[in-house]
Amino acid sequence: MDKNDEELVVRLVELSGNYYQFGLEQGSEVRSLPILKQLEQLGKLNVNSNVQKAKELLKSVSPNLFEELIGLAEGLDMEIDHTVKLFSGYDVAFPQMGCTTLVNDGYYVRNYDFSSEMYDARLVWTNPTDGYASVGFSQQIFGRLDGMNEKGLIVGLHFVNNEYREEGFMATTIVRMLLEQCANMEEALNFITNIPHGYCYNYSITDQSGSSVIVEASPQQQIINFTHPLICTNHFESERLREKNRKEVQGSVKRKDYVSSLLSESLSPMSTYHHFNDESSPLFFTQYKEYFGTLHTVVYSSNDLSIIIGVGGNSKPMKFSLKEYKEGTFVLPEYMKGTIKHNK
């Protein structure tokens, strides 16, 4: 391995039972992991977090996830208020990140670009007694960067801007709530337009009907744009929200244009995976120290609940099935490995 290369290990975490048990188990897990080193960084991001308001909202809009936080607090041997402050994603700032998504012909392919130092490196499989089974990449343990549930609902986030912030939830918590509580597009759109948003994000969403939508979400309003094929990156396109973009959106626009050019080809889920995961691709980045390096490529297929995943670049894809996992006929490995190449 080159001195500029880093081995990236993503753990596969299985959670079953009720949400309190989810939290308790993850608290015990996190206490023994390097993720705990992020807590100090997270605490700095959450200086102004309104813990009481966060607790009230969670109890109202997502009581199951509040139960998970109670279990997490116990597993971490931490006060519940401090746990809510660190993990709930309410009234929290977060560094810039990038991501590119294409939804086409029943599959959803995505590259997630961020820093390996602030990456959970956990693919979490949940099979709750009182909710939808799902699979997704976690962030800050509690949240999800992207994921798919047993009903075929698939959701991912796309950072736009944190300059125009208000008190509300960050995108990772919103993605988690959608996966846990919504069976289809109609339910997801009703939920996402009735919850307080703290920041400016795009959400790319599809379901088993084959419809797909980009939700441009700011704290003040959410714009819904049904589109298929769907291509989503890190800028707003609606006239009402365009002014909330960052000053520099050329890179985001360029990625979207490149994905558009791929549509002239006959794209299968696997061929699209390789277009996204190839280290020479215009969609693959190595600026990990600047919070813009590609950490994973994932293809979720809503029709058969299959998943194709690669960690790092030029990664041999691994295939999984949420359907088989829920049925108990699929044994998950403990981890996936890949290599990321830092800029020289």
Q: Give the DSSP letter string of 42-75.
A: HHHHTTT--HHHHHHHHHHH-HHHHHHHHHHHHH
12 found inside a domain: yes
Express each pLDDT in 219-276 by its tens digit: 999 999 999 999 999 999 999 999 999 999 999 999 999 999 999 998 999 999 999 9
pTM of the predicted model, to two decimals?
0.94
Share of the chain above pLDDT 90, in %: 80
77 found inside a domain: no
277 found inside a domain: yes
Express each pLDDT in 24-72 by its tens digit: 999 988 887 666 566 556 555 555 568 999 999 999 999 999 999 999 9
Q: What is the mean pLDDT of residues 145-158?
A: 98
83 found inside a domain: no
Spatial distance between the Cα atoms of 234 and 57, rounded to a whole number of angstroms: 28
Q: Are 100 and 111 in contact (CB under 8 A)?
A: yes
Task: Note down the domain range covering 314.
Answer: 5-16+94-341
Indicate the number of domains in the chain. Answer: 1
Q: What is the pLDDT of residue 291?
A: 85
Secondary-structure breakdown of the chain: helix, strand, coil percentages, each rounded to the nearest 5: 35, 30, 35
325 found inside a domain: yes
Spatial distance between the Cα atoms of 109 and 230, rounded to a whole number of angstroms: 10
Spatial distance between the Cα atoms of 342 and 344, rounded to a whole number of angstroms: 6
Q: Are 15 and 344 in contact (CB under 8 A)?
A: no
* Backbone angles phi and psi of 68, in degrees to 5: -65, -40
- Beta-bridge partners for 143: 139
Spatial distance between the Cα atoms of 111 and 312, rounded to a whole number of angstroms: 10
34 found inside a domain: no
Q: What is the pLDDT of residue 40?
A: 55
267 found inside a domain: yes
Spatial distance between the Cα atoms of 292 and 116, rounded to a whole number of angstroms: 9
Spatial distance between the Cα atoms of 342 and 293, rounded to a whole number of angstroms: 8
135 found inside a domain: yes
* CATH number of domain containing 250: 3.60.60.10
Measured from the Cβ of residue 323, the count of other Cβ atoms closer than 10 Å reads: 15
Q: Can you state the angle between helices 63-76 and 171-181, rounded to 10 degrees?
A: 120
Q: What is the mean pLDDT of residues 135-162?
A: 96
